Chain A
Amino acid sequence: AKSSSRLTQGIGDLFTKRKLDDEALEDLQDLLITADLGVAAAGRITARLAKSRFGEDIGPDEVKAALAEEITAILEPVAKPLEPDFSRRPHVVLVVGVNGSGKTTTIGKMAKSFADQGRAVMLAAGDTFRAAAVEQLKVWGDRTGCPVIARDTGADSAALAFDALKEAQAQGADLLFIDTAGRLQNKADLMEELAKVVRVIKKVDETAPHDVLLVLDATVGQNAHSQVEVFKDMVAVSGLVLTKLDGTARGGVLVALAEKFSLPVHAIGIGEKAEDLRAFQAGSFARSLVGLD
């Protein structure tokens, strides 16, 4: 809605009674670039549009609809909600990402959503590094009524994850979310530490973690490529969550990511509160990306 007003305006300005010629396509590509699609993906998408519509007189709404269609086709296959197998008791979800992307908040939101469905959810405060990270997750535990397994700041996060999984098994929890400290993907030692968390979890349950969610901030530009690449390599990311879509950043890099990695996008964050999580829907994401909704 409000997040795409700039793009909407642009297309409106450009395509009032206009022929879809080279220049128009270049402008269209520029507009996709301002939504963070990246030069290459924006180029591919406009080229596809050109293939079917080149030279036509085309109005702004029609252009937008055609673009949204192209983008929806890319995103449709990756729009998959998180579907835990509760029979695993617990289904283990490890949550990873760079600093400040929204990991802890997303865990709080997901915990609420599953707890509201009557599931027994437990949280593990695996960020034993950042100041007050444990306290932050504990507040989310209180808000959602989910028990939080925690140790003091400075403790070993792999050991904490081990304990938490044991505890969740003992209590017969349906779902265990393991929070982790934010880390930049180019920090080899911190990435290795995360790989160790996974190894230690496997000592308790060799099928775990059953999901590894990479939380991406929609405000981030092309660096998201490198984030997905490295986290995927190190800890076998199984799905993505895109946060902070309530701002003016449109998260268009997700389109390029979908083309390149085909990882499921499970949910989007649209605010700071427990209920501000939505399933990712390809069509509506694409439409709001081009300013249709």
Chain B
Amino acid sequence: MFESLSQRLSKVFDKLTGRGALSEADVVEALREVRVALLEADVALSVVKDFVARVKDRAVGQDVIRSVTPGQMVVKIVHDELINILGTEGVELNLNAVPPAIILMVGLQGSGKTTTSGKLAVRLKAQKKKVLLASLDVYRPAAQQQLEILARQADVGSLPIIMGEMPVAITKRALEMGRKEGYDVVVLDTAGRLHIDQELMAEVAQVRDVAKPVETLLVVDAMTGQDAVTLAHEFNEKVGVTGIVLTRVDGDARGGAALSMRAVTGRPIKFLGQGEKLDALEVFHPDRLAGRILGMGDVVSLVEKA
């Protein structure tokens, strides 16, 4: 998804690497193009500004001026700073709780919560966990049926649907069934909601207080634009996010939202959704993603030479 950004940056740096010495003006020019490339990749403006400033601070230092191939050093600095934002390691799900461990899925409408719930069930089942899926989405037409079907496909437990029951009551019933029937993990799929919808944000906060989840995963579309910072900040503030799932990474969006959300929440990106099917979930590797942004092979070989 980051190919275009990577192409863009490598074009910029090709120009730089062709030179023997690197002036401050060169850095500034390169960073202007980095800025545009990041913005076109939908990284939020505030994040771009911080990023560019940090890279500039480091790039216009002594190291760069003394190095034989200064352009390569800039590449390395940009790469390092990307890793810095994205985090250094893949972070697995935290299931450290007296069973059942509760995972709460939250996010905007249509971001991929229900599908990701099904995908997590498949993944956890493969790790020999006994998983229960419960839908708290009493608003979207046929939402509860959707999750029930996915539970059947994943061959995991599904909380029986009681029409007319409200989210907090459903939560309590899910916890009880989870305990009584010896489930290891209960995944609570919630209705999509806007972060400015006070009533629904209060509802999900109430669910959280009842469920005491070990993981609250914010599910976000990789195609998200500048709003990523606002929504991530608000969900984190109002519900308390422990991790981020980026969906539709199988698309051709450049996915700058990943950088934005990581930067504003400080929460790790845990998984990438790579398709509609239940096996299309990948663990997130920050260095792999940063490498993809810049073209990893090039970065490694360039920096080795430097």
Contact: B150 with A131, CB < 8 Å? yes
Instruction: Looking at the assembled complex, report how far the CB atom of A5 sits from the nearest CB atom of chain B, in whole angstroms.
Output: 10
Q: Kindly list chain A residues whose C-beta atoms are within 8 Å of the C-beta of B44.
A: 34
Contact: A253 with B225, CB < 8 Å? yes
A46 CB within 8 Å of chain B: no
Contact: A33 with B39, CB < 8 Å? yes
B89 CB within 8 Å of chain A: no
Q: Kindly list chain B residues whose C-beta atoms are within 8 Å of the C-beta of A143.
A: 141
Partner of A219 from B39, B146, B227 at Cβ < 8 Å:
B227
Instruction: Looking at the assembled complex, report how far the CB atom of B245 sits from the nearest CB atom of chain A, in whole angstroms.
Output: 14
Contact: B110 with A102, CB < 8 Å? yes
A246 CB within 8 Å of chain B: yes
Alpha-carbon distance A219/B141, docked complex (angstroms): 22
Per-residue B-contact encoding for A214-247, CB less than 8 Å = 1, 0 else? 0001011111001000000000000000001011
Partner of B224 from A2, A30, A219 at Cβ < 8 Å:
A219
Q: Which residue of B lies closest to A102 (CB)?
A: B110
Partner of B40 from A98, A99, A139, A222 at Cβ < 8 Å:
A222
- Beyond A2-B196, A34-B45, A272-B109, whether A220 also contacts B223 by CB under 8 A is yes
Interface residues of B in 241-295 (CB under 8 A from A): 248, 250-254, 256-257, 276
A135 CB within 8 Å of chain B: yes
Stretch at the interface among A35-43, A112-120, A200-208, A280-288: A35-43
- Beyond A30-B45, A185-B251, A223-B42, whether A135 also contacts B226 by CB under 8 A is no
Contact: B231 with A221, CB < 8 Å? no
Contact: B230 with A6, CB < 8 Å? yes
Report whether over half of chain A's contact residues are helix, strand or loop; otherwise say mixed. loop
Contact: B252 with A185, CB < 8 Å? yes
Instruction: Looking at the assembled complex, report how far the CB atom of A251 sits from the nearest CB atom of chain B, in whole angstroms.
Output: 9
Per-residue B-contact encoding for A96-131, CB less than 8 Å = 1, 0 else? 001111100000000000000000000000000111
Partner of A132 from B146, B230, B231 at Cβ < 8 Å:
B146
Among the interface residues A139, A140, A184, A226, which one has the most CB atoms of the partner chain B within 10 A? A184
Would you mind naming 21 contact pairs between A and B with Cβ atoms under 8 Å apart? A34-B45, A36-B225, A99-B110, A99-B276, A100-B109, A132-B145, A135-B142, A135-B146, A185-B252, A217-B223, A219-B108, A219-B227, A220-B224, A221-B42, A221-B253, A246-B194, A247-B227, A248-B195, A248-B231, A249-B226, A249-B227
Q: Contacts A35-B226, A139-B141, A248-B194 known; list 7 others, CB within 8 Å.
A: A30-B45, A98-B248, A99-B112, A220-B253, A244-B109, A247-B196, A249-B227
Taking Cβ atoms with an 8 Å cutoff, the residues of B that contact A are 36, 39-42, 44-45, 108-112, 118, 139-143, 145-146, 149-150, 153, 194-196, 221, 223-227, 230-231, 248, 250-254, 256-257, 276
